[in-house]
Amino acid sequence: MELKRITEYEWELPKMGEMRVPGRIYISAALLKPLLAERGEGGGHEGNAIDQVKNVASLPGIVKASIAMPDVHPGYGFPIGGVGAFDPDEGVVAMGGVGFDINCGVRVLATPFSRKEVEARKEQVADALFAHVPAGLGSEGKLRLTVAEIDEVLKKGAKFALERGFGIPEDLEYVEEGGRMDGADPAAVSPKAKERQFRQVGTLGSGNHYLEVQFVEEVYDPEAARAYGIERDQILIAIHCGSRALGHQIGQDYLQELERASRKYGIPIRERELVCAPIKSPEGERYLAAVAAGINCAFANRQVIAHLVREALAPLFAIPLEKIRTIYDVGHNNVKFERHRVDGAEKTLLVHRKGSTRAFGPGRPENPPAYRKVGHPIFVGGTMGTASYILHGTEVGMDKVFGSGVHGAGRAMSRVKAKKRWRGDQLVRELAGQGIVVRAHSLAGAAEEAPGAYKDVELVVEAAVGAGLNTVVARVRPLVCIKG
């Protein structure tokens, strides 16, 4: 199976065998090399990502191509960094195209503080955030919810949090989908999933989730930066987390249900991780209703955390809470019906984005009015020790990748290997030497997230921009990182 180079940053996996469409991999030669190097050895951490692109291309109803973004690496079913759009009449919905952390995403807050103001007090800032925002494996928040209240969360999303006093009304204008996904049905979510969320709304979680205080190091697109209200040396707060235990349990529950559906509808199961159901089947519709509920749970979670950040930082700097505003909140690990052009005609498609974020370019009505001219921002997480980026979508991205963007540096090494190579306490000291204050609820967890365990975010952004899919607005760097 040979890859065909189309341009410097675009490769084709030609259609063959059971593939219904070709694969399209947007990546540089430098990032592609490790994927190819390990393929022939039975699949290493990078190796089977290309095979996963091929398997996704074989699913019924897939349109145009099975797509891999520059941060692609192996995932569950779909590769992480994978995008697949499906015809609603002939296509399927696959749990592997969404993943377990439904609507994991990033909200970024803009503050009125300068880098200089926070540099002098960053230990104090770190302590305040660490104490006020619940984080870590199994952490619990201030909210104690009943089943009926969880059902409200699943229907209302971020609006539920706002009604409970977490946030300001303007927040919702700058959250994807207005902070509430249509079509959510709490009845499609199991009692076990709801029970696991009773005390987890407003918690950061663990793993790769983080809360980061960043400064704007460089602005590359002044027009977009003005629209987003950001400037050089300004302090931003990035919140990266998702739907916590509820989203994970939805994934577990529907893995079994969709496996039964695959057999019922005669869909070949090439690997268990790609079990699926026709979009217009009772099973497919029920899963989509559950995913929408999980999406709303994640919106509510980030809404509460954003308010907790305000509560922690506003008193420190003696400013009103409202001075810390939401730039945007956008998720990855989603599946949504969207309108896109295919062969010159606009049509509705069901778009899976697994470890990829929606990146709608200029003019799309889904964007907030203030961002409509330039497109909404997307946030590309680096690592605790490297830069992160703010990008936006483009017309080319709308055409080639259904308006999608990269979501982060992407892992280059498994968590197990990372823990063997780095020690958490050493890592925290090394980062302190670079001027980055880290507060971690688990040192082993910090070791898993060592900067060296990730791809070079500069190369990932270079490939996304080089392929024309996304445009750089600004580069930011961490001053404080709170790890779950």
pLDDT digit of tens for each residue in the chain (484 aa)?
A: 689 999 999 999 999 999 999 999 999 999 999 888 766 544 444 558 999 999 999 999 999 999 999 999 999 999 999 999 999 999 999 999 999 999 999 999 999 999 999 999 999 999 999 999 998 777 788 888 999 999 999 999 999 999 999 999 999 999 999 999 999 999 999 999 999 988 888 999 888 899 999 999 999 999 999 999 999 999 999 999 999 999 999 999 999 999 999 999 999 887 889 999 999 999 999 999 999 999 999 999 999 999 999 999 999 999 999 999 999 999 999 999 999 999 999 999 999 999 999 999 999 999 999 999 999 999 999 999 999 999 999 999 999 999 999 999 888 888 899 999 999 999 999 999 999 999 998 888 889 989 999 999 999 999 999 999 999 999 999 999 999 8
Residue appearing with tokens 């190369």: 459
Is 201 in a helix, a strand, or coil? coil
**What does the alpha-carbon distance between residue 171 and residue 162 come to, in Å, rounded to a whole number?**
9
- Cα 278 to its chain centre, rounded Å, is 25
Look at the chain and count its residues: 484
**What does the alpha-carbon distance between residue 1 and residue 14 come to, in Å, rounded to a whole number?**
8
Please, are residues 192 and 457 in contact by the beta-carbon 8 Å criterion? Answer: no
Q: Which of 381, 298, 328, 327 is nearest to 104 (CA)?
A: 298
Question: What is the rounded radius of gyration, in angstroms, for the C-alpha atoms of the chain?
Answer: 21
**What does the alpha-carbon distance between residue 404 and residue 398 come to, in Å, rounded to a whole number?**
7
> What are the residues facing 26 on neighbouring strands?
10
**What does the alpha-carbon distance between residue 272 and residue 375 come to, in Å, rounded to a whole number?**
37
Please, are residues 359 and 468 in contact by the beta-carbon 8 Å criterion? Answer: no
Q: What is the pLDDT of residue 38?
A: 65
Phi and psi at 232, nearest 5°, equal: -60, 140
- β-strand pairing of 325-342 with 437-440: unpaired
Q: What is the pLDDT of residue 411?
A: 87
CB atoms within 10 A of CB 351: 23
Is 448 in a helix, a strand, or coil? helix
List, by residue number, the catalytic residues: 407
**Identity (one letter) of the amino acid at 152?**
E
127, 362, 440 from 437: Cα distances, Å: 10, 37, 10
Alpha-helical (H) ranges within 230-369 are: 244-264, 282-317
